[in-house]
């Protein structure tokens, strides 16, 4: 692993600890309690009571996180690959994104990543980038990308502090 990749992972770990320090935060997704993808590594040291493992049920996961946000929680809704986020698009585009238009202000931080093509190509169903498509569809949810280690903490800090939902796409 390159020094850049190690640094990116280190910064993500720092950012996740910063988020976890907020009592309203709960990490929700596949592989948040069980190691099965790179994002699990970035949660090392986060207490298990701050993590809620989900089944492979992306649409439900996004709706569940929207519901948590409506109760005042701040879910970090984790989709290990952006390709999986497509299955949650209905809840994201038609519900979470539109609720502010009716006076509701749920805050969900959606965390996803573009799958790597090297050193092992994970294939076309795990490496697609739909950032532009989501940016065009979303009006209330702020869409951001992050690829440089020095940008990780400021972006996740803004996502926590600003009163809106974020979709953060990691290109590490």
Q: How many helices, marked H, and strands, marked E, lie in the chain?
A: 7, 6
The mean pLDDT value for 34-56 works out to 91
CB burial of residue 132 (10 Å; 0-12, 13-18, 19+): exposed
Question: What letter does residue 54 receive in the DSSP assignment?
Answer: -
Q: What is the pLDDT at residue 114?
A: 86
Asked whether residue 152 carries a pLDDT value surpassing 90, the answer given is: yes
The whole-angstrom separation of Cα 108 and Cα 27 is 10
Q: Domain locations in the chain?
A: 3-170
The mean pLDDT value for 7-29 works out to 97
* Length of the chain, in residues: 172
- Copy the structure tokens of residue 68: 């948590």
What is the per-residue pLDDT across 72-120, written as a single tens digit (0 to 9) for each?
999 999 999 899 999 999 999 999 999 999 999 999 999 999 877 666 6
More confident residue, 3 or 17: 17
The whole-angstrom separation of Cα 132 and Cα 160 is 23
The whole-angstrom separation of Cα 143 and Cα 140 is 9
Query: Is 93 strand, coil or helix?
Result: helix
Asked whether residue 32 carries a pLDDT value surpassing 70, the answer given is: yes
Give the pLDDT band (50/70/90) at residue 142. very high
Q: What is the pLDDT at residue 3?
A: 59
**pTM of the complete model:** 0.93
The whole-angstrom separation of Cα 52 and Cα 45 is 15
Give the pLDDT band (50/70/90) at residue 121. low
- Copy the structure tokens of residue 40: 């699990």
CATH 1.10.4000.10 fits 3-170, yes or no: no
Looking at every residue in the chain, the average pLDDT score rounds to 92
Give the pLDDT band (50/70/90) at residue 37. confident
Q: What is the pLDDT at residue 164?
A: 97
């Amino acid at each position: 692993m390159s020094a850049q990749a190690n640094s990116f992972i280190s910064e993500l770990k720092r950012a996740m600890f910063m988020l976890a320090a907020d009592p309203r935060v709960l990490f929700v997704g596949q592989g948040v309690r069980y190691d099965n993808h790179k994002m699990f590594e970035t949660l090392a040291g986060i207490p298990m009571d701050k993590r809620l493992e989900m089944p492979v049920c992306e649409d439900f996961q996004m709706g569940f996180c929207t519901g948590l946000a409506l109760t005042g929680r701040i879910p970090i809704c984790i989709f290990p690959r952006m390709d999986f986020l497509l299955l949650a698009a209905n809840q994201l585009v038609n519900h979470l994104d539109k609720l502010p238009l009716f006076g509701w202000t749920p805050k969900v931080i959606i965390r996803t990543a573009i799958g790597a093509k090297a050193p092992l190509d994970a294939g076309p169903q795990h490496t697609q980038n739909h950032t532009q498509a989501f940016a065009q569809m979303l009006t209330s949810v702020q869409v951001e990308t992050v690829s440089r280690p020095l940008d990780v903490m400021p972006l996740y800090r803004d996502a926590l502090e600003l009163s809106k939902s974020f979709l953060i796409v990691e290109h590490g």
